[in-house]
Amino acid sequence: MMLATASRAAARAATRSLSTSATAPALKNPGVLKIGLIPADGIGGEVIPAARDAILALGSALPKTEFVTLDAGFEYFTRHGEALPDETVHALQQECDGALFGAVSSPSNKVAGYSSPIVALRKALDLYANIRPVLAVPKDPNEKPSVDLVVVRENTECLYVKQETLTFGPDGREARATRLITERASRRIGLKAFEIALARPRKHLTIIHKSNVLSVTDGLFRDTVKAIPSQHDKYADVTVAHQIVDSAVYRLFREPEIYDVMVAPNLYGDILSDAAAALVGSLGVVPSVNAGDTFVMGEPVHGSAPDIAGQNKANPIAAIRSAALMLRYMGFSDGADRIDAAVDAVVRDGSVLTPDLGGRSGTNEVAAEILKRI
Ligand code: NAI
Ligand code: MG
């Protein structure tokens, strides 16, 4: 019985070991871990301080840690005419070892001169993988979580190349968008997804596509990812399935337990991860990292939530878990485990939660409760 409990606990812990690199990275300034904080808009300014405090609470578990707050976002754009100042990109590239991004507000109608800074940042730092673990916290820690999957979203192309045109034709205005899928980007996101699958107990990868309709673009994505095990023997133990995105959403809601790692082009990955968030209670609990080969930026999956911004209602858990995920990817997995365990304990206890999880507490109280347990 004890053995079964221990092995279940081990299996559960293993679901969080996403990274295969166990050693801490070389810091840009030896002995000092420098983290860039980009709260940006809306609730970003409320949840990023909570994430910073969670990192600080780890104390001597990390090297001496310094933070630098950096500008970006729509509010910044309205004041300064640019959404992503060069100084922010420069500071991240030159000084920081990692970063945490809050959320941006992007107006749904085009505003001249404005372009989403998060999309630009992912490109500028070549953070080509958006890794989004979605994990339910069962009441009993020995119980298998009802949802335990990772969405691995390609982060640099697809429709997010933002090449849109508006012309006039016999049917009135005609809008077109370019959807770019390259073999190189599909291969590197595929490799990332196989690497993540290999480190998880189930070692199962589902390739998400719509190649029944988009046979050229999605066909290239699917076939490129599918070919990886034939080029790399190390992935022989990973089982591979592929599925059309719409039925994948259906099955995700009906039987989330069939999924382990899902790899998808940019837009499908974005939608799938918000959908999966509904299965674990709230967008306010789902973290992500934007990862490249040399830099990692944590970012909650949610947006700037203008409906609750400034009201001390935002759930800080997604941002706090994003800090943990960033640390995990940087090789500080003990610190990451401590933060995740503290969040698990607060969620399980259930008495201090924000309204999105049915609670009555504010952002600050939930953050304080988590800090107390780190
Ligand atoms: P959203 O993710 O901001 O909010 C969707 C719903 O979830 C809202 O009801 C909101 O109150 C709730 N919610 C989100 N985060 C929460 C949290 N931490 N705690 C409790 N409840 C939370 O998406 P929405 O409303 O569609 O977009 C708002 C703005 O955010 C838009 O301008 C959009 O462009 C932007 N956005 C930015 C993203 C980013 O920075 N990566 C991602 C998604 C949207
Ligand atoms: Mg999204």
Domains of the chain: 18-139+286-373 (3.40.718.10), 148-279 (3.40.718.10)
pLDDT average, residue stretch 23-41: 89
Distance 310 CA to ligand 1 centre (A): 13
pTM for the model: 0.93
Atom of ligand 1 nearest to the CA of 305: 3
Q: Is 105 in the pocket of ligand 1 (CB under 6 A)?
A: yes
- Residue indicated by tokens 């337990």: 257
Ligand positioned closest to the Cα atom of 310: 1
Among the listed residues 298, 285, 354, the one whose alpha carbon sits nearest the alpha carbon of residue 137: 285
Question: Per-residue pLDDT tens for 208-251?
Answer: 999 999 999 999 999 999 999 999 999 999 999 999 999 999 99
Distance 313 CA to ligand 1 centre (A): 13
The pLDDT of residue 4 is 41
| pLDDT over 60 (residue 3) | no
| pLDDT over 50 (residue 8) | no
Ligand 1 atom 11 nearest Cα: 305
Distance 312 CA to ligand 2 centre (A): 22
Distance 294 CA to ligand 1 centre (A): 28
Atom of ligand 1 nearest to the CA of 47: 18
> Does the annotation mark 160 as catalytic?
yes
Question: Per-residue pLDDT tens for 298-310?
Answer: 999 999 999 999 9
Residue 295's φ and ψ, nearest 5 degrees, are -145, 150
Distance 235 CA to ligand 1 centre (A): 36
Question: Per-residue pLDDT tens for 251-294?
Answer: 999 999 999 999 999 999 999 999 999 999 999 999 999 999 99
Which burial class, exposed, middle or buried, applies to 6 when counting CB atoms under 10 A from its CB (0-12, 13-18, 19+)? exposed
> Does the annotation mark 268 as catalytic?
no
Q: Is 358 in the pocket of ligand 1 (CB under 6 A)?
A: no
Lowest mean pLDDT among 13-27, 176-190, 293-307, 335-349: 13-27
Rounded to whole angstroms, how far apart are CA atoms 158 and 167? 21
Structure tokens at 287: 């973290």
> Does the annotation mark 34 as catalytic?
no
At residue 316's C-alpha, the angle toward residues 311 and 321, to 5°, is: 165
Reported as type and span, the H/E element at residue 370 is helix 363-373
Side by side, the strands of the sheet bearing 64-69 are 64-69, 32-40, 98-103, 296-298, 289-291, 129-135, 148-154, 261-264, 204-209, 239-244
Q: Is 367 in the pocket of ligand 1 (CB under 6 A)?
A: no
Model confidence at 187, pLDDT cuts 50, 70, 90, reads: very high
Q: Which of 76, 160, 235, 259 is catalytic?
A: 160
Give the CA distances from residue 371 to residues 56, 236, 252, 312, in Å, rounded to whole numbers and listed in that order: 9, 42, 33, 17
Tell me the average pLDDT of the chain.
Answer: 93
Q: Is 154 in the pocket of ligand 1 (CB under 6 A)?
A: no
Ligand positioned closest to the Cα atom of 106: 1
The pLDDT of residue 335 is 96
Question: Per-residue pLDDT tens for 66-95?
Answer: 999 999 999 999 999 999 999 999 999 999
Q: Is 75 in the pocket of ligand 1 (CB under 6 A)?
A: no
The pLDDT of residue 2 is 38
Question: Per-residue pLDDT tens for 313-354?
Answer: 999 999 999 999 999 999 999 999 999 999 999 999 999 999
Model confidence at 108, pLDDT cuts 50, 70, 90, reads: confident
The pLDDT of residue 158 is 95
Atom of ligand 1 nearest to the CA of 104: 40
Model confidence at 5, pLDDT cuts 50, 70, 90, reads: very low
Q: Which of 71, 218, 260, 270 is catalytic?
A: 270
The pLDDT of residue 202 is 97
Q: Which of 34, 192, 203, 210 is catalytic?
A: 210
> Does the annotation mark 128 as catalytic?
no
For a mutational test of ligand 1's pocket, the pick from 76, 153, 283, 307, i.e. the residue with the most ligand atoms closer than 8 A to its C-beta, is 283
Rounded to whole angstroms, how far apart are CA atoms 352 and 311? 17
The pLDDT of residue 10 is 41
Distance 305 CA to ligand 1 centre (A): 4
Model confidence at 26, pLDDT cuts 50, 70, 90, reads: confident
> Does the annotation mark 97 as catalytic?
no
| pLDDT over 80 (residue 18) | no
